Amino acid sequence: MRMTRLHAPTLRETPKDAEVVSHQLLVRGGYIRKLAAGIYDFLPLAQRVLHKINRIVREEMDRAGAQEVLLPAVQPAEIWQESGRWAKYGPELLRMKDRKGGDFCLGPTHEEVIVDLVRRDVRSWRALPLNLYQIQTKFRDEIRPRAGLMRGREFIMKDAYSFDTDEDAANASYDAMFAAYQRIFARCGLDFRPVEADTGAIGGSRSHEFQVLADSGEDAIVSCLECHYAANVEQAELDAPAGDAGAAGPPLETVPTPDKRTIAEVSGFLEVAADRFVKTLIVDADGTLHAVLVRGDHELNEIKLAKLLDADTVHLAEDAQVVAATGAPVGFAGPVGLTGVESIIADHAVRGLRDAVVGANAADAHHVHVDEGRDFTVDRFADLRLAVDGDACPRCGGRLKGYRGIEVGHVFFLGTRYSEAMRCNYLDESGREKPMVMGCYGIGITRIMAAAIEQNHDDKGIVWPRGIAPYQVAILPLQMNKADVVGAAEKIYAQLVDAGLEVLLDDRNERAGAKFADAELIGTPLRIAIGGRGLKNGIVELKVRGGEAVEKIPLDGLVDEIRSRLQ
RNA sequence: CGGGGUGUAGCGCAGUCUGGUAGCGCACCAGUUUUGGGUACUGGUGGUCGGAGGUUCGAAUCCUCUCACCCCGACCA
């Protein structure tokens, strides 16, 4: 492709609405433009990258035995009502009516559609296992889209659904997808981790996320330094610490803490470390208030709490509810003498805590020298907090290290949740009707593009992994007024194109600096610079994007050299 | 939805406080120049100042309403 023909409007300045580096570089490099919040145009360079990613995904999915289909983006409400999710999904599901007043939605995911498809035509155990996938635009009306392609409202996703006769077979399907995902993300040039994950709204019992390690990632994960265990902090199980309560502390006292509400404020004011605090959170679980205690330096994991209470929704209580339950303004709640809640639940780390600091259930006051068991009692202890750097590994006892991650893929073992709700049954060998056992598997295609940039860039621009770069080589004739330079560039361009390579020829009448800058911004893996000086000696200059060295390469055998560099 | 912020040319911004009929840089077009790290100069195209209503002789500027977008939080691929 010639740069004079390529529609890739590059910008010198960073658009002010782009915060994360992938968003900035995609806009500056002429890859994407924004149409509305979380909704983007994909320009030719981006489309090429997406094609590359899609091709890798298709190859690996096909190889794993899955078959590609294409399902409708517009879906009738009936199937969502059947699965129960029309009521449950909430405002993230973009709903609409057709001219006759019928309810429809834009698909945020396709369990309902695929189950409807399979249940109609698959009746026999002989047809299983079956794994169908598609690459398609999804729509989720996010509360807050952000970070460019990282969290869009409209995005491209590969979703796959497996159907099996029983749990063992379904687990084999899950394992096959898990292995395919490892190959896919590796081929995309990503540094990633599969981590154990919560099953969330989709439901099910077994789940892994594939997290690309990046400081800008939205997800927090922990990974064991000793063994292979890795998990989302929401999921990571934390064992109860050995219960050595120790000797009783001094008697309880009440101290004034004027206008000091947060742990950090009170900790600084009383000069007591945060891990000697008990944080008392008043939570609303399906309309019932509970007090939840976690150590001052820990954070409540609402997912674990919701599971413990078997609640559909768990959230921090409104200010007025807190005042009614504790008799004090927000910031001064504590477990001592607390009666305004259904129960007091505590994280394991609160068990046996001595000489602690808690809110006094009165404005501007805290209790100090508080002992759990002596000064307050807990109705039940459980694992309720988010894992943090330094926690013990639940598998081997080693130390967990914290990372930030971008979730590019997620695999779920669904079981029979959808197949039972929607009567997706088959006849087994003895003629009995049974629900199919399902799994579902997603990959954020557009998110991979952003994640790859988050992980591979420098101050000049994108440094594409080889496997997904829009073009493999950029040719820069540095002096457009010199016929020999232009001629050599054209000749090399023709040779490389003939050799089947993806080449960008910068035939614009720009000065060398502008060409270097744009080539680095766009991020092609290889760059060939052609100048009059080198040509006299029969050489051109080769630079690997992301590397330091500029190599002088003879014109003779250049094509073979380039080809070998791209291996 | 709560908190904070921004809307003036494709991009980045000034002008708003103190009303007088819109400007700068980049990009784009024409020409000259330059040609190994965003060359220089000249000329030029392009704007219902987010929208509606109001105040006023006169509104980008003041008032009211509204919309969009960004960031933080609660939600999720």
Q: How far is the CA of A46 from the C1' of B10 (A)?
A: 19
Q: Where in chain A is the domain with CATH 3.30.930.10?
A: 21-237+402-454
Between residue 151 and residue 180 of chain A, the positions with Cβ below 7 Å from nucleic chain B are 151-153, 155, 157
| Model confidence, pTM | 0.84
Confidence category of residue A241, pLDDT binned at 50, 70, 90? low
Q: How far is the CA of A552 from the C1' of B32 (A)?
A: 36
CATH 3.90.960.10 applies to domain A253-382:
yes
Confidence category of residue A232, pLDDT binned at 50, 70, 90? confident
Q: How far is the CA of A16 from the C1' of B63 (A)?
A: 30
Asked if the Cβ of residue A441 lies within 7 A of any atom of strand B, the reply is no
pLDDT beyond 70 at A242 = no
**Helix A167-187 × helix A44-63 angle, to 10°:** 140
- State ipTM: 0.87
Q: Where in chain A is the domain with CATH 3.90.960.10?
A: 253-382
Rounded Cα distance between A17 and A80, Å, is 36
CA angle A145/A151/A157 to nearest 5° reads 130
Rounded Cα distance between A173 and A409, Å, is 16
Pick the CATH number of A471-566 from 3.40.50.1970, 3.40.50.800, 3.30.70.2500, 3.40.50.150: 3.40.50.800
Between residue 220 and residue 279 of chain A, the positions with Cβ below 7 Å from nucleic chain B are none
pLDDT in tens, A188-227: 999 998 888 876 555 556 888 999 998 888 888 888 888 8
Average pLDDT over residues A353-372: 79
Confidence category of residue A181, pLDDT binned at 50, 70, 90? very high
Q: How far is the CA of A234 from the C1' of B76 (A)?
A: 13
Question: Nucleotides on strand B with an atom closer than 7 A to protein CB?
Answer: 1-2, 10-13, 25-27, 34-39, 68-77
Higher pLDDT, A218 or A528: A528
Asked if the Cβ of residue A34 lies within 7 A of any atom of strand B, the reply is yes
CATH architecture of A21-237+402-454: 2-Layer Sandwich (3.30)
- For position A401, what pLDDT does the model report? 84
In order, the DSSP letters of A489-544 are HHHHHHHHHHTT--EEE--SS--HHHHHHHHHHHT-SEEEEE-HHHHHTTEEEEEE
Asked if the Cβ of residue A55 lies within 7 A of any atom of strand B, the reply is no
Between residue 2 and residue 31 of chain A, the positions with Cβ below 7 Å from nucleic chain B are 9-17, 19
Between residue 195 and residue 224 of chain A, the positions with Cβ below 7 Å from nucleic chain B are 200-202, 209, 218-219
Please give the single-letter amino acid code of residue A121: D
Tell me what the pLDDT averaged over chain A comes to.
87
Higher pLDDT, A491 or A392: A491
Q: Which residues pair with A42 in a beta bridge?
A: A32
3-state helix, strand, coil in chain A (%, to 5): 30, 30, 40
pLDDT beyond 90 at A403 = no
Confidence category of residue A243, pLDDT binned at 50, 70, 90? low
Asked if the Cβ of residue A442 lies within 7 A of any atom of strand B, the reply is yes
Average pLDDT over residues A356-381: 80
- For position A505, what pLDDT does the model report? 96
Least reliable range by pLDDT among A67-81, A151-165, A173-187, A256-270 = A256-270
pLDDT in tens, A260-316: 777 777 777 777 777 778 888 888 777 777 888 888 778 887 777 777 777 767 777
Going from the C-alpha of A194 to that of each of A203, A230, A425, A487, the distances in angstroms are 19, 7, 32, 50
Q: Where in chain A is the domain with CATH 3.40.50.800?
A: 471-566
Between residue 286 and residue 325 of chain A, the positions with Cβ below 7 Å from nucleic chain B are 302, 315
Average pLDDT over residues A378-397: 80
Least reliable range by pLDDT among A103-112, A173-182, A395-404, A480-489 = A395-404
Q: How far is the CA of A28 from the C1' of B15 (A)?
A: 27
Confidence category of residue A258, pLDDT binned at 50, 70, 90? confident
Between residue 64 and residue 103 of chain A, the positions with Cβ below 7 Å from nucleic chain B are 92
Q: How far is the CA of A16 from the C1' of B49 (A)?
A: 19
- For position A245, what pLDDT does the model report? 62
- For position A210, what pLDDT does the model report? 94
Higher pLDDT, A19 or A134: A134
pLDDT in tens, A428-453: 999 999 999 999 999 999 999 999 99
Higher pLDDT, A380 or A1: A1
Which protein residue lies nearest to nucleotide B70, measured between its Cα and the C1' atom? A17
Please give the single-letter amino acid code of residue A326: T
Rounded Cα distance between A294 and A281, Å, is 8
Rounded Cα distance between A261 and A281, Å, is 12
Of A321, A315, A288, give the one whose Cα is nearest residue A300.
A315
pLDDT beyond 70 at A469 = yes
Q: And the tokens for A206? A: 């077994």
